[in-house]
Amino acid sequence: MFVLANIAAGNEMNKEAVMNVLLPHRADRVRPSFVVNFLQSKDKQLRVATLWCLLNLIYPKCEASSGRVVRLQNAGVILQVKSMINDPCLDCKVHLLSLSNSTCDDQHRCYLACAC
């Protein structure tokens, strides 16, 4: 997951490639993305790495970040992130706060409200 997080820190082409790995375009849409499972993991390092990756994907100064937020929201990833507000891992809480600050679109509509 840290490798994907590092790739997601690159340009728009890199970010789109990571999005296609995280949320492949499938017709079945029956199984949730593995990202949701990683965010639910008992392994705190896996949760932190996944949050880092998401943060790099939706960095607000990137041109297509709001579209990626919508895709993540539609896949249930943002809902899972919202449910992690009381995560016992301090590193996760720091990344959750960063994510909450990064998920507002141009109209200041927030997809993730954090009460940290």
Q: Identify the CATH number of the domain in which residue 94 sits.
A: 1.25.10.10
Q: Is residue 109 part of a domain?
A: no
pLDDT digits (tens, 9 = 90+) for 40-92: 999 999 999 999 999 999 887 777 888 898 889 888 898 898 889 889 998 88
Number of domains within the chain: 1
* Inter-CA distances, 44 with 17, 40, 49, 106, 109, Å: 25, 9, 9, 32, 30
Please indicate, yes or no, if residue 115 is contained in any of the structural domains. no
Q: What is the pTM of this model?
A: 0.81
What is the average pLDDT value for the chain, to the nearest integer?
82
Q: Does residue 25 sit within a domain? A: yes
Range of the domain at 97: 2-102
State residue 47's pLDDT score: 93
Whether 87 maps to a domain, the answer reads yes
- pLDDT, position 46: 95
Does the structure show a pLDDT above 50 at 115?
A: no
Residue 112 inside a domain? The answer is: no
